[in-house]
Chain A
Amino acid sequence: MSVNEIQDTIIEEFSVFEDWMDKYNLLMDYGKDLDEIDPRHKVKDYLIDGCQSKVWLYAEYDSEKIRFTADSDALITRGIVALLVKILSNRTPDEIISANLYFIDEVGLRQNLSPTRSNGLSSMVKQMKLYAMAYKAADDRHAAEGGR
């Protein structure tokens, strides 16, 4: 599925629930499905700044696609990062860089999560895009060197 197809599925799933408690429950269910991050990557180096709860994000690149693994010590945050991983993991750097994450507003995450939490969400997105840009830049460099 494309980035947007997954986003649309998520939006539809959330739209079923009127009550915010149910939306949170769904969010936490997503958190439960998140692949466990390797304990070696659950360290300070991979902590994201700007979240009140701890969020670890790790990226690996097989020269085609980037795979993200993540975790958080707060369950709601874990749910949020799980959504991002579901949408952006196993994508090419270009797909990640150009992804327009409209689901955040559609699901109501931005308005309904507190401002600091929302900042944490932006930090997560920013960090994922940074990884993609760094890998893409490394690729471009290799290509340039190879062509010389």
Chain B
Amino acid sequence: MKEISLIRADFPILGSKIYDKPLIYFDNSATTQKPVSVINAVDEVFTTYNSNIHRGVHALSDQASEKYEEAREKVRSFINAGEQQEIIFTTGTTGSINGIAFSFGEQYIRTGDEIIVSHLEHHANIVPWQMLCERKGAVLRVIPVNNEGEILFDEYLKLLSPRTKIVAVTQVSNALGTILPVRKIIEAAHSRDIPVLIDGAQGIQHGVVDVKELDCDFYVFSGHKIYAPTGIGVLYGKKKWLSELPPYQGGGDMVANVTFEKTTYNELPFKFEAGTTNFAGAIGLGAAIDYLQSIGLSDIVKREHELLVYATERLSAIKELKIYGRSNLKIPVISFLLDKIHQYDTGMILDKMGIAVRTGTHCAQPIMDHFGIDGTVRASMCFYNTKEEIEALAVGIEKVVKMFSK
């Protein structure tokens, strides 16, 4: 693997100072920083070939369209989808889930039908389904979790019934970092012919994702959490589903023929890409995938696991610190509280030391309720973080403890 100092040099922001202290960025689950190759790729769009895609007869438009479709191919190959037609560019995970919840709901959900999610979901994988349930009179069922933050698989099996129309679960809990057994979840649903959507927002950047092997029906993720720009995301769907589902947005580029009497839709994937898409973002996402592959995803996983083990050990040594989500299967995330110290107080003081963490419910209130807390401090790491930074975090936490236990 590339040397850590060289990796860090690829991310310009990592060299910056916050309150005159070197930035320690531990908020990677919220959004990741961008390597210079991604920044340059987006810059290049606007300085050399910016033009609307799929429309123009002119050279620039051709070039932009070509780059956009190249990015689609990069995504396809990255998640090992069968065809480019199965890759839809969206605004992000939230956009992807809302889209599927609408299209799938219109086509297949009736009164009394059931949709299964887990107790670990981000609000983005709860609210769109609740909205669908309200529209259709359907029922949301929730897979419970234990105190380590792991789902109770047997309880999940009990929830599956002839009324279940779709299972939508996250691959990794954003609040706790615990990894869900999605393969088993999918197998169990498929044995009853129930389709499964996987929310990959926290999974895609921390491991190899192979949608063919997983056999999931839908897989969604955001570009900005995988070192790409904001405002771009992916909806992977099996061709069978995407062909059957109606589009969730109407507009330009998604149509084959429009008259006031009748409109016919364009073929996949364009049927689901109404209007001018964020093509610059998509091209940036392509560049981010290139970057990750140049580093090597298996090396990234290995390095991140080392960071997780080190951080868990180091932070557990602080006796006032309690970690939420203690599964053995985790991404490098430590969600914690310090005795009776409010998570916000902790976050504010760490900020003053140049350490960026997230505090609050992490858009996952139900799992906070499960633990009877109203938030945690979350330090989320990735491969460009270092053990020295973890040590600085630990020292910072010790200072916070001292400061607030006076």
Contacts and interface: CB of A to CB of B under 8 A. Distances in A.
A28 to B, nearest CB: 8
Contacts of A77: 342, 344
A52 B359 contact: yes
B405 to A, nearest CB: 11
A53 B403 contact: no
A107 to B, nearest CB: 15
A24 B352 contact: yes
B23 interface: no
Contact of B403 (A21, A74, A113): A21
A50 to B, nearest CB: 13
Interface in A14-69: 20-21, 24-25, 28, 52-54
B19 interface: yes
Contact of A114 (B19, B348, B375, B403): B348
A52 B19 contact: no
Given A20-B19, A75-B404, A113 B348 contact: yes
Nearest to A79: B345
Given A20-B19, A53-B342, A75-B342, A117 B403 contact: no
Contacts of A52: 344, 359-360, 375
Contacts of B360: 52
A73 interface: yes
Question: How would you classify the secondary structure of chain B's contact residues: helix, strand, loop or mixed?
Answer: helix
A124 interface: no
Interface in B369-406: 374-375, 403-404
B342 A74 contact: yes
Contacts of A21: 349, 352, 403
Contacts of A20: 19, 352
B351 interface: yes
A122 B403 CA distance: 26
A76 B352 contact: no
Nearest to B353: A21
Interface size bucket, A side?
10 to 19
Contact of A24 (B341, B342, B344, B349): B349
A117 B359 contact: no
A74 B345 contact: yes
A88 to B, nearest CB: 23
B25 to A, nearest CB: 15
A12 B172 CA distance: 50
A75 B340 CA distance: 11
B351 A114 contact: yes
A117 B342 contact: no
A24 to B, nearest CB: 7
Interface string B71-109: 000000000000000000000000000000000000000
A76 to B, nearest CB: 5
Most A CB atoms within 10 A — which of B344, B351, B375? B344
Interface string A125-145: 000000000000000000000
Nearest to B352: A20
B348 A76 contact: yes
A29 to B, nearest CB: 10
Contacts of B349: 21, 24
B403 A25 contact: yes
Contacts of B348: 24, 76, 113-114, 117
Contacts of B403: 21, 24-25
A117 B344 contact: yes
A28 B344 CA distance: 14
A12 B360 CA distance: 33
Given A25-B403, A52-B359, A75 B345 contact: yes
A73 B348 CA distance: 14
Contacts of B19: 20
B360 to A, nearest CB: 6
Nearest to A53: B344
Interface in A94-148: 113-114, 117
Contacts of B374: 54
Most B CB atoms within 10 A — which of A53, A77, A114? A53
Contacts of B351: 114
Nearest to B359: A52
Given A21-B403, A52-B359, A74 B352 contact: no
A27 to B, nearest CB: 10
A74 B359 CA distance: 12
B340 to A, nearest CB: 9
A46 B348 CA distance: 24
Contacts of A114: 347-348, 351
A70 to B, nearest CB: 15
A99 to B, nearest CB: 26
5 contacts: A21-B352, A24-B352, A52-B344, A77-B344, A114-B348
Given A21-B352, A52-B375, A114-B348, 12 more contacts: A21-B403, A24-B349, A24-B352, A28-B404, A73-B342, A74-B344, A74-B345, A75-B404, A76-B344, A114-B347, A114-B351, A117-B344
